[in-house]
Amino acid sequence: MNTKLVTFLIAFLLPTVRSAESSANSTTWPSTTPQHCNGTRQSPVNIETKNVKLDLSLVPFSFSGFDDSSALLHILNEGKTVKVFVNDSKVNVSKGGLADVYKTSQVHFHWGNGTFTGGSEHTLDGKQYQMEVYGSGNPNSWKNLTSYLTKITNFGNSAIILGDFTLDSLLQGVNRSKYYRYLGSLTTPSCNEAVVWTVFKDSIKVSQDLINLFSTTVHTNTSSDPLIFNNFRISQNLNGRVITQSSLATTPLHSTFISAVLLCAVLWWFC
């Protein structure tokens, strides 16, 4: 089996922030939504590991409910992405340098076109990978997750998740004490600059076949309409922002991991 590495990324948002989602090309957003999308603290960004700074306040996180399979409710085709909805009364995250407890609301995904170029929004040392998951392992858990895609091929299709995987099982192998941190924005309009981004350093292996299912299964509307692919925003300027890292993230990555596929899982938490 051809396996690819998956890395884990989290976005913490203020409770009033919502994404309006837009069909416009991301290069037009600064003019169509200038109040935010033309700001100085936009996301995604390129993480240059040689320039990150150590922050001793970035202690390990506390994750609650990540082992509860009943917390994952249903999966939905939104026409621009795929979302997994989470029972936010059961799942939350605290510590990790955060002042509040953040509830998990949903997980959504960004991907490329099934080739070896494009897909992820955030980049690592200038390298763009094939996929990024916004809003969140075990190979069987990822197989169970992607098996639902055939049930939501058209816009508006939804399927109940049957308790056959957990957030913990999707993130198996990730040391959640090793991460990067920076201040940014939503990556779709209204691009509100009220997001605390966390990128975990460890990677997970996921098969290429499972990654490809996203760009070959779900459509923007009906089965006669285009497939959803390349639903990512290009990297934005740092504009003087500093990316920091936890003390445990200072250990160098193994060189064999560098050329692998990046799948960033982002869990959208509202306090």
Residue pointed to by tokens 């982002």: 266
Model pLDDT, residue 239: 97
Question: Does position 205 have pLDDT exceeding 90, yes or no?
Answer: no
Q: What residues does 158 pair with on adjacent strands?
A: 76
- Cβ-contact 235, 45 below 8 angstroms: yes
Whether the model clears a pTM of 0.85, i.e. scores above it, the answer is no
CA atoms within 13 A on the CB side of 259: 2
Confidence of residue 15 (pLDDT cuts 50, 70, 90): very low
Give the span between the Cα atoms of 11 and 29, in whole angstroms: 21
Of 43 and 118, which is predicted with more confidence?
A: 43
Confidence of residue 175 (pLDDT cuts 50, 70, 90): confident
Give the span between the Cα atoms of 48 and 238, in whole angstroms: 11
Question: Does position 258 have pLDDT exceeding 80, yes or no?
Answer: no
Of 19 and 141, which is predicted with more confidence?
A: 141
Which domain range does residue 154 map to? 3-270
Domain total in the chain:
1
The pLDDT of 182-208, averaged and rounded, is: 82
Closest to 7 measured CA to CA, from 268, 269, 216, 263: 263
Model pLDDT, residue 1: 45
Model pLDDT, residue 154: 98
- Cβ-contact 195, 17 below 8 angstroms: yes
Summarize pLDDT for 47-98 with one digit per residue, the tens: 999 999 999 999 999 999 999 999 999 999 999 999 999 998 999 889 999 8
Which residues contact residue 25 at a Cβ distance below 8 angstroms, ignoring those fewer than 6 apart?
A: none
Model pLDDT, residue 174: 77
Residue 238 backbone dihedrals phi, psi, to 5 degrees = -70, -35
Summarize pLDDT for 209-224 with one digit per residue, the tens: 888 899 999 999 999 9
Handedness of CA 240, 241, 246, 249 (dihedral sign): negative
Question: Does position 228 have pLDDT exceeding 60, yes or no?
Answer: yes
Confidence of residue 260 (pLDDT cuts 50, 70, 90): very low
- The pLDDT mean for the chain works out to 78
Residue 28 backbone dihedrals phi, psi, to 5 degrees = -95, -10
Residue 55 backbone dihedrals phi, psi, to 5 degrees = -130, 110
The pLDDT of 167-184, averaged and rounded, is: 87
Give the span between the Cα atoms of 243 and 267, in whole angstroms: 19
We report the CATH number of the domain holding residue 39 as: 3.10.200.10
Question: Does position 184 have pLDDT exceeding 80, yes or no?
Answer: yes
Summarize pLDDT for 122-132 with one digit per residue, the tens: 777 887 665 66
